Amino acid sequence: MGFFYFLGRKKFYIHFLIAIVLAIVLLWAALYSLNIFTRHGEVYIVPDFSGLTVAELEEQNYDDFFDLRVIDSIYDKNAGKGSIIQQHPLAGSKVKQGRHIFLTIVSEMPETVIMPNLKNLSLRQALVTLESMELPVGSLDYVNYFARNAVVDQTIDGEPIEPGTEILKGTSIDLAVGKGDLHISVAVPILIALKKSDVKKALHYAYLNVGREYFLDSSDSSHLRAYKTDPDPFSDESLKLGEKVDVWYRSDENFDFDNYLKQFNLDSLVIETLIRQNIIE
């Protein structure tokens, strides 16, 4: 019996039809299974979890939709302990159900660091060292010492702190600094429009201290910028090493600093450049 004879039989077409039906069924089953596995078309918008705790997310059943994983903790004295401060993917991202959401939370206690030995370093070296260790400088106290701007002592709340002592990050360190043999004066830096968090740093790099601080329209430090200072940086007045500069602040939400700077033929980029040059010199 030849091939064409076989094609002419009804049994062949029945089997062929069955094979086609089975192939279609198997293909549909495979696609349907894949669709279920990947949840094709089912996406969720990642909410903004900032400020919430993991326990609060679980109470709101977010763990039914996402796999919540804490991967790091950061100390932030301005945020609630245990609250979420960073997340990935970011809020607004589209993800499938069960996607890992990696969270960074605020730790219960700040990290500790080892107090460095700043004695006999230049003031600039000491400032850079402390900044890298997240230890803010409280005040500069200029004392009689032959090496000008050399660190003579390091203290916390008036008490000497020995190198190698374990202290909390964020602890304020006061520095005693040498006056040198010559009486010199320094110019008042231009601080206008500088963020409050940067004002003290800029004054320290200019060998000065923050004096009285005034808040004209807000106390929200995240939006405060320097509005004016006393002494005025555009006057001819100069100060002795370690003297204080009084600062007035306004909120950048309530005040147009760009237009304000134009009165002095300046802009915020110029101010930042001047400060940066002062820091790296």
pLDDT digits (tens, 9 = 90+) for 71-92: 988 877 778 889 999 999 999 9
148's tokens: 């000008």
Q: State the pairing for strand pair 43-45/94-96.
A: antiparallel
* 113 in Cβ contact with 166 (< 8 Å): yes
Tell me: pLDDT of 42 over 80: no
Partners of 137 in beta bridges: 173
SS3 content of the chain, % helix, strand, coil (to 5): 30, 30, 40
Tell me: pLDDT of 121 over 50: yes
pLDDT of residue 181: 85
pLDDT of residue 9: 61
Check residues 250 and 222 and name the one with the higher pLDDT. Answer: 250
Average pLDDT over residues 217-230: 91
Cis peptide before 231 (omega within 30 of 0): yes
pLDDT of residue 78: 75
- DSSP assignment, residue 162? -
